[in-house]
Amino acid sequence: MREQYFKHRAPLDFNKDTHDIGRPFFWNKKVEDNHFLNRLYRNDEQEFDTLYKYHLQFFLSKYDNATEQEFFRYVWEVIQDAIAQLRHKDRYASGHARHFKDKFHLNRFTEYLQSIDEWNLGRTQAEIIADKEGQIKILKEENQRLRDERKEAEKWETDFPINIASGHFLTVVDLFKKIAELKVDDKELVFSQMPITWAKLICRYFQEDGEPIKFDRVRRYYPRDPNKPSGRSSAIPFENQHFNIIPAKSRAI
C-alpha cells in the first residue's frame, strides 16, 4: 500500500474550489482517505469524473510503477468501507439524516466507479459470470441470425450461371439497357434506383464463354447518372447492338 494516493492541499491554501484534499493547516496525512470522502461529499454527481481523474493523474505521476487499476481498487475499498460503516449507524441518532444523505451520495459514486470498472473489481464472481453468460447468449443469437441469413441467401446462388456466347458480352449488356428503358402505359416496365444494380445482376448470374465477368468490365456501362456520364463511362458500340425490342402488335381476345 502506498503512503499517498490523493493530492494534498498545500499549506495556507484556502481555495474552496480545489479538488485537493486536506486542510490549510496541519492535518493527519495518514487518514487521507477520510479527507477524500469529505471532499467527495462536497462534489455534485456531475463532478465525480473530474474528481476521480484529478487524483488519478496525480497518483500516476507520483509513482513510476503506478497503474489506474491500483488506484481504482484503493478508491473502491475506501468507498465500500465508508458505506458499510454508515449502514451500521444508529438510524435514531441525531445525525441520521446526514448519514443517510452521505450513504446515498456514496452509492451514486459507486455507480460511477462501476461504469468505468475495466477490471471487474467492483463486481462479484456471480455478477461477472451472469454478464458473460448474457454476452454469450447474445453472440449465439447473432450467430444463428447470420447463419439463417446465409442459408436464405444461398438459395439464390447457382453453380450453373447463364453463359454468353464468346464475343457477345456487350450485346447482352445492350439488351439489359434496352429493357430498362421499356415502358408500359407510360410507366417504366422495370426500374432500379441505382443503375449499378444491373451490373451486379450480370456479374452474378452470367458468364462469357464459361468465364466469370469482372465487375469493373460491366460498371462502365452503368454510370450513376445516365444523363451525365463520367469520363470513365462508355456507351455500347453500334456494332454490338444487334437487337431492338419493340412492342408486340395488339392481339384480339
Last-in-domain residue among 95, 122, 149: 122
Q: Examine the domain organization and report whether 57 and 117 are in the same domain.
A: yes
Does 250 have pLDDT greater than 70? Answer: no
Which phi and psi (to 5°) does residue 150 adopt? -65, -40
Q: Examine the domain organization and report whether 136 and 192 are in the same domain.
A: no
In a domain, 3, yes or no: no
What is the number of H-type helices and E-type strands within the chain?
Answer: 8, 5
- Helix H, strand E, coil C: the string for 20-37 is CECCCCCCCHHHHHHHHH
- Going by pLDDT thresholds of 50, 70 and 90, the confidence category of residue 89 is confident
In a domain, 23, yes or no: no
Q: Examine the domain organization and report whether 192 and 130 are in the same domain.
A: no
pLDDT tens-digit profile of 9-66? 988 888 888 899 888 888 888 899 999 999 999 999 999 999 999 999 999 999 999 9
Q: Domain limits at 153?
A: 124-157
Q: Are 198 and 191 in contact (CB under 8 A)?
A: no
Total of domains in the chain: 3
Which phi and psi (to 5°) does residue 246 adopt? -125, 155
In a domain, 247, yes or no: no
Q: Examine the domain organization and report whether 59 and 113 are in the same domain.
A: yes
Report which listed range, 109-118, 153-162, 218-227, is most confident. 109-118
| Angle formed at CA 141 by CA 138 and CA 145, multiple of 5 degrees | 135
pLDDT the model gives residue 105: 94
In a domain, 202, yes or no: yes
**Does the predicted TM-score (pTM) go above 0.75?**
no
Q: Examine the domain organization and report whether 110 and 152 are in the same domain.
A: no
Does 253 have pLDDT greater than 60? Answer: no
In a domain, 6, yes or no: no
In a domain, 21, yes or no: no
Run of H or E residues at 141: helix 125-154
Q: Examine the domain organization and report whether 118 and 94 are in the same domain.
A: yes
User: Average per-residue pLDDT in the chain?
Assistant: 89
Report which listed range, 27-31, 110-114, 249-253, is most confident. 110-114
How far apart are the C-alpha atoms of 80 and 246, rounded to whole Å?
A: 84
Q: Examine the domain organization and report whether 88 and 135 are in the same domain.
A: no
In a domain, 246, yes or no: no
In a domain, 71, yes or no: yes
Run of H or E residues at 149: helix 125-154
- What is the DSSP code string of 61-88? HH-TT--HHHHHHHHHHHHHHHHHHHHT
Q: Examine the domain organization and report whether 190 and 210 are in the same domain.
A: yes
